[in-house]
Amino acid sequence: MKNKFIENELWYLSLAGAFQRNNVYAENIDDNNGKKKESFKKKLKEHVLKITDRYHVFVSDENHVSNILEIIALNADDILKVGKLTFGTAQKLLNLYLKYMWCTERLAHIPPHCPVDSIILGNSKNYKYDSWTKLKCETKYMLYINDLRELATQDNLHLAEWELGVFNRRAEKKLV
């Protein structure tokens, strides 16, 4: 029961992180008292959890990007802006969920990437103030990932470990 509670909380944190500051829903939809959104989120969770099972072994960049694209393809819905999630939103959702699962030792292998957002993007030499929420394709995403991975390597860290350090330093600054 405790494990299920924690896993649900990790899911809601991931969903909130991916959807906050990000207008994912179409305007003026007839949502039937929130039932369409709840149905969409339930379907999305099922797909992400199914994909997460693939990460109990090493996952390559190519397979990870394919998993992000699968989330977009399998969760097209008319309640979403342009009928689907952006690449930026889908990567943030999957990468955040994998990060939380890994940090709580529910994932044996380190995630291949880190959640990409404006804070993390600010470290990329190719960052031109693009909004991560509007990131539409894997090409630019992988350009950022490779830049960030280079920074992590300079610190002798895996990308996911490097991102934790950036995130922790940012959180500590907020406390001061």
Domain count, the chain: 1
**Which of 58, 151, 168 is CA-nearest to residue 111?**
58
Judge whether residue 65 has pLDDT over 80.
Answer: yes
Q: Around 74, how many Cα atoms within 13 Å sit in the side-chain half-sphere?
A: 18
- Residue 32 — very low, low, confident or very high, per pLDDT cuts 50/70/90? confident
What is the rounded average pLDDT of the residues 53-63? 96
Give the residue numbers spanning the domain of 122: 2-175
pLDDT tens digits, residue range 116-171? 998 898 888 877 767 888 788 899 899 999 999 999 999 999 999 999 999 888 77
* Rounded Cα–Cα distance for residues 13 and 41 (Å): 13
